A = this chain, B = another copy of it.
Amino acid sequence: MSSTEPRRSIATVCLSGTLADKLTAAARAGFDGVEIFENDLIASSWSAKEISEHCAELGLSIDLYQPFRDFEAVPPDVLARNLRRAELKFDVMEQLGAGTMLVCSSVSPDAVDDDELAADQLHLLAERAAARGIRIAYEALAWGRFVNTYEHSWRIVRRAAHPALGLCLDSFHILSRGSDPAAIRTIPGEKLFFLQLADAPRLQMDVLQWSRHHRLFPGQGAFDLTAFTGNVLAAGYRGPLSLEVFNDVFRQADPAPAAVDAMRSLLALQETLGVTDVPPAPELAGHAFVELAVDDVSEPRLAEALSGLGFAETGRHRSKPVRLWQQGDARILLNRTASGQQGSASVGAVAVESADPVGSARRAQRLLAPPLPRDHRAGEADLSAIAAPDGTSVFFCRTGAETGDSWLGDFTVTEPAGPGTGVTKIDHLALAQPFDHFDEAALFYRAVLGLEPEPVTEFAAPFGLVRSRTVADPSGRVRIALQSALLRRGDWAPKVREPQCVALSTGDALASARRMRERGAPLLEIPGNYYDDLDARLAPEPALLAALREQSVLYDRDEHGELLHFFTVVLGGRVFFEVVQRIGAYAGDGAANSPVRMAAHRRQREAGA
């Protein structure tokens, strides 16, 4: 860590569980400190003193006690009650060893719109706090009754003029209102007592609800946290970068990976701020291979399907039960990981071509991606591998390297590739993510692999809403669509694990479909109603429409180009293939056709295919 690197903290409210769960998760993810959220303390059986000791053992400082509400600009009798309340909280803070208390701008009906009164009373509070060695960080809530901008809170703090009174800046409260953070630079750094960071998607809704339910870790939403934080650091702020994220999903998710996700968001933010030692992301040049985990029953089924799609088994691994199937630059490994008889198949690993596999792995490790130990023999390639949030292995490799360094050297050639069906390479993967890890996954691929997230889209599938977000390298050569069923996607629906798609590129979808059908590939049938609607909606040329209908090829068009694509049935319970032809600069993945594809897959399952 460079000496100028800021400390990193997290509010306990970001994580799920009891206070003990939260502190353990924060410490294991490498945080330096925590904000103690009052409700977490109240529900804990540890006394404040015990919490303090526990944090010390975990190496966590207690950077903030929060929140203290509805203090300022009130009549004398309310002030007396509020001061009593504050003194009782100072007692707790002394036991905790917490030096700073967050005071939110008032939303109370008791308060009046009087900056001078607010400043006087905050001065009084700061005086009381100072006597206990405590500082007051005053924060403008975006929905504060009278004080709801940082400029306003700063005017009051300046007027109060007490050394123990400063500001807390919260990126959500400032950016959600569209305030310009540039003026933060004009505030003296020593009056910036605390910085809370939260991102959020742009939502048109009540700001209080938006704040309480939909905040995200930096880099997961739509706010420009680099510019915001840059202004705060430029003003001379020297406290921790602290996350305060209220999010319905994180509130109920395992706190251990959530804390890692949180820390990764800060490391990635520091990188864009230039205060980091994270090594840069090497360029990625495409998908090297996809490995499917198969068993005794599913391997022959997958092999038959791959053969139908025009792949040939071109190699066998020298020491492992792994077969290489190839067509053009599309490579699929079938890894018979277990000798089970379940008939299951799933995507076990994704391999990307990296200009510097070792550099990619080093960056991944610095960004807290769990490294995967690889079992390889002397003379075999040492592939660097990490685990993605959903457990998929991600390999970094250079297929075109000298034989001794290429993973291809580990395979004996069994057969040359045949004429094929027009497939040239892997176009993209679509991987269903566990609901709890959707935002984490997008941040993982962005930060660790350096892929760019495209906008989040949602569509209504037959069994509920599906959210989708594609991450891709700038040239579009590596492309992964992350998908997640909102809510639970039908306990009543057939019990299948969310499917995974391996999408292959072709230059001529109709010709590929024809040749694949001739070879017996298990292609998915699309109903006639789809083509009637396509005619009404996009009116393709009659000959094209007829060919699409005949071959069960789906179609989409945007302002940049066209997409022709078709699918196999689901194989091994979870995996299916897609074949994609992009015409012009069509940028999407045909999401509009997904509900039709999903209903067709449901029929296939019902038919027991």
Q: Is the CB of A88 within 8 A of B254?
A: no
Q: Which residues of B contact A47 (CB under 8 A)?
A: 528-529
| CB closest residue in chain B, given A47 | B528
| A interface size (C-beta, 8 A) | 68
Given the contacts A89-B536, A532-B92, A43 and B252 also touching, CB distance less than 8 Å: no
Known interface pairs A42-B527, A91-B532; 18 further A-B residue pairs with C-beta atoms within 8 A, sorted by A's residue number: A16-B463, A16-B464, A16-B490, A18-B462, A18-B602, A38-B533, A42-B529, A42-B530, A43-B462, A43-B596, A43-B598, A43-B599, A45-B525, A46-B529, A248-B487, A251-B464, A436-B488, A488-B488
Q: Is the CB of B536 within 8 A of A436?
A: no
Q: For the complex, is A177 an interface residue (Cβ under 8 Å from B)?
A: no
Q: For the complex, is A107 an interface residue (Cβ under 8 Å from B)?
A: no
Q: Is the CB of A460 within 8 A of B251?
A: yes
Q: Is the CB of A462 within 8 A of B16?
A: yes
**CB proximity of A71 to chain B, nearest CB, Å:** 12
Within 8 A of B (CB), among A532-557: 532-533, 535-537, 539
Q: Is the CB of B465 within 8 A of A596?
A: no
Q: For the complex, is A204 an interface residue (Cβ under 8 Å from B)?
A: yes
Q: Which residues of B contact A489 (CB under 8 A)?
A: 252
Bound CA span A91–B531, Å:
13
Q: For the complex, is A249 an interface residue (Cβ under 8 Å from B)?
A: yes
Bound CA span A491–B463, Å:
21
Which of B39, B89, B204, B491 contacts A436 (CB under 8 A)? Answer: B491
**CB proximity of A109 to chain B, nearest CB, Å:** 13
Which of B41, B436, B463 contacts A252 (CB under 8 A)? Answer: B463
Q: For the complex, is A366 an interface residue (Cβ under 8 Å from B)?
A: no
Q: Is the CB of B465 within 8 A of A252?
A: yes
**CB proximity of A221 to chain B, nearest CB, Å:** 17
Q: Is the CB of B88 within 8 A of A599?
A: no
Please indicate which of the listed interface residues A89, A249, A464, A539 has the most CB atoms of chain B within 10 Å of its own CB. Answer: A464
| CB closest residue in chain B, given A87 | B536
